[in-house]
Chains A and B, each alone.
Chain A
Amino acid sequence: MKPTQMDRLDFVSSIVLTIFGIAILVESLRMPRLENLKVNQFTVPGIVPGVLGLLLAVCGFAILVRSVKRGGWRLGITGQDTAAWVTSAPVQRSAATLGLTLLYALVLFPHVPFNFSTPLFVFAFVVTAEAMALGRWPKWQAMVTGLILAVLAGLIIGYVFQQLFFVRLPGG
């Protein structure tokens, strides 16, 4: 039987999951047992995480066995496929989305004033995403729409959270 893409993904992910489950189990066994406190032995902190680690490892292993049976271990990775995958439109779009969102959430939002960082992010996102969809830079009308959208979004969201909900946003 020829393995499906999902079987291959399951093969890799179930190995990670099984190891993760075992790691949780080991960490739970290492947790303090508080013997010196005369606490009830069934209330030690590691009991529930330990059981969860075991369950995750067992379930992960079950998926691993299933994917191996279906031939998922034949990963069939070739350089050519990988190159094609990396340059495919969905992957490039994902990469661009991830890059822009992470830049905003981790750098701009905490450190740059909201009223500046948010329109900047929205505008950059709109233009980049539209450019990728069209395969060229968007027309100036679309750019202006994007800019208006960006400024409005910044103002309205900033107003709702800061003035109505009294949230003190970071970034000064």
Chain B
Amino acid sequence: MDGFNSFLGALSAMVTSWAIIDVVWATLLGIVVGMLPGLTATLGVALMTTLTFKMGTDQAILILVCMYVGAIYGGSRSAILLNIPGTPANAATSLDGYPLARAGKAGSAMAIATTGSMFGGLVGMVALAFIAPVLAEFALSFGAYEFFWLAVFGVLVAGQLTSLDDPIKGWIAGFLGLFVAMIGREGIHGVPRFSYGSTDLAGGIGLLPAMVGAFGFAEILTVMRQEAYSVVHSRVDSIWGGIRESYKYKMTALRSGLIGTFMGLIPGVGEDMGSWASYAAARQASKNKDEFGKGSVEGLLAAETGNNAAVPGALIPVLTLGVPGSAPAAVLLAAMVIHGIRPGPLIMIESPDFVFSVVAMVFLATIAMGVLGLLLTRPLIMVLRVARERLMPIIFVLCTVGAFAIASRTFDVWIMVFFGIFGFVLRELKYPMAPLILGIVLGDILDKSLRRGLVLSDGDFGAFFVRPISMVLWVSALGFILLTMPSVRKMFTRLFNRDQADKQS
């Protein structure tokens, strides 16, 4: 219980009235950043790094951690209320959160998301406090082969889950996303692909402008096309009901928390895969598989627990290896370096106090996120009462400014518009958007890992199949897809039943 005492010590040293004020405003700003399409955790943390430059180390890192935790959570709000995930990590949240909101259960949905996020944050925090060095070694065992399978797994599973009655369309959306990631100068030989002499295209298609377009602008077009769009009056008192309901699925929450923490460890995929993998696992384990995508409490809980558990998960390699598990964690790492902390394998020996300070920071941020999140639920439900004629132009302005704000490039506004129209057409044709966005996230990883793996193995494809973790990944990707195909599942059930029959006889 040495660790627990260190944590309490760090916590009591940190809790001063000034620190509480910092926690409140930084978390609140984080939630706002997360909610606005186009402003993401990465941008928020990067901005705060500059603004907190002259503060003391603990104060500055505390503000950054709050910003990070708040932003990842805040993205769930717009995903639930508007079907527009605030950050890419919330794409799975909208699958069940938005149907719940349209059914008048927005308060309950937001409460479920808040409970899940808090619980996820705490699971990740425990891992960070007690087994960080062990987990860091696990992260090191992810090489080119494992990354390749993880990317394949992600796209196939997301494609399948978002288009259950017609998985081929989900996969196509995923492949299209992977293709979008191919545009631009590739990272191994520096050859421009699909650029046709344009500097802007050679720079690649930005994930965030594409996401803001495919989710935000496309949603505006979809809503405006609908015959009738009724405003929703939600029952506010359902907030406590939501919390109680989350409690029923404590196993789902625990599983998602663990998966999220593990995914957070792995550099580059962080929160996005944390929520998708949790969502997939929850569906696989659920008794009510059919509800997924139509307003499943379990699905919403899993997605939100998974992505917030990935936050402390992503901090583990930051602290113990000096390598970030996600894009916002990369900025946080830079901030630590600026403030004279040397994250790396020696941190546990050289400054163990700092590790526990970070644990305490995550704890404070998670609590603040939960409290603020529940307080904000009531005013935010009002968004659903605004007529589309008034709400949509404002969201479009946010999409435009948000797309531009990421890198101050007008080209990104064009990308937003293109993906909005393209996404609208694809949606009308019943292609899901989420695998497209996940494909853009994973495309670069997939491309480089495959080619890097082939360099390392000198062209031997067999090397991709034999290492233990790659084996787990490709077997589960294959198994997952086979199990979701109705004919295969029937066969399995029959086999299983016969087994039981044999045993009984």
- Chain A residues within 8 Å of B, Cβ to Cβ: 6, 9-10, 13, 17, 24, 27, 31-32, 34, 37, 39-43, 45-49, 52-53, 55-56, 59-60, 62-63, 89-91, 93-94, 97-98, 100-102, 104-106, 109-110, 114, 118, 121-122, 125-126, 129-130, 133, 145-146, 149, 153, 157, 160-161, 165-170
A43 contacts B188, C-beta separation under 8 Å: yes
Min C-beta distance of A37 to chain B, whole Å: 7
A60 contacts B220, C-beta separation under 8 Å: no
A24 contacts B179, C-beta separation under 8 Å: yes
What residue of chain B has the Cβ atom nearest to residue A125's Cβ? B393
Q: What are 13 sample pairs from A and B whose C-beta atoms fall under 8 A apart?
A: A45-B191, A49-B179, A49-B193, A56-B179, A60-B172, A104-B396, A104-B400, A106-B413, A106-B417, A109-B400, A125-B389, A126-B389, A129-B388
What residue of chain B has the Cβ atom nearest to residue A122's Cβ? B393
Give the docked Cα–Cα distance between A126 and B221 (Å): 15
**Contact among A24, A45, A110, A161 with B188 in the assembled complex (CB-CB below 8 Å):** A45
Give the docked Cα–Cα distance between A91 and B168 (Å): 28
Give the docked Cα–Cα distance between A166 and B392 (Å): 25
A32 contacts B401, C-beta separation under 8 Å: no
Min C-beta distance of B462 to chain A, whole Å: 13
Cβ contacts under 8 Å, A10 to chain B: 429
Binds A, one of B92-100, B108-116, B262-270, B450-458: B450-458
Q: A60-B172, A118-B397 are in contact. List 16 more A-B contacts (CB 8 A).
A: A6-B430, A43-B188, A45-B191, A48-B446, A53-B179, A56-B179, A63-B172, A97-B225, A97-B392, A101-B217, A101-B220, A101-B420, A104-B400, A122-B397, A125-B392, A160-B36
| B408 beta carbon closer than 8 Å to chain A | yes
Cβ contacts under 8 Å, A6 to chain B: 429-430
Band of interface residues on B: 35 or more
A90 contacts B400, C-beta separation under 8 Å: no
A56 contacts B459, C-beta separation under 8 Å: no
Given contacts A32-B191, A59-B168, contact A98 B179 (CB under 8 A): no
Give the docked Cα–Cα distance between A41 and B455 (Å): 9
Cβ contacts under 8 Å, B398 to chain A: 157
Cβ contacts under 8 Å, B447 to chain A: 48
Give the docked Cα–Cα distance between A67 and B446 (Å): 31
What residue of chain A has the Cβ atom nearest to residue B169's Cβ? A63
Cβ contacts under 8 Å, A110 to chain B: 410, 413
Give the docked Cα–Cα distance between A52 and B172 (Å): 10
What residue of chain B has the Cβ atom nearest to residue A170's Cβ? B410
What residue of chain A has the Cβ atom nearest to residue B460's Cβ? A42
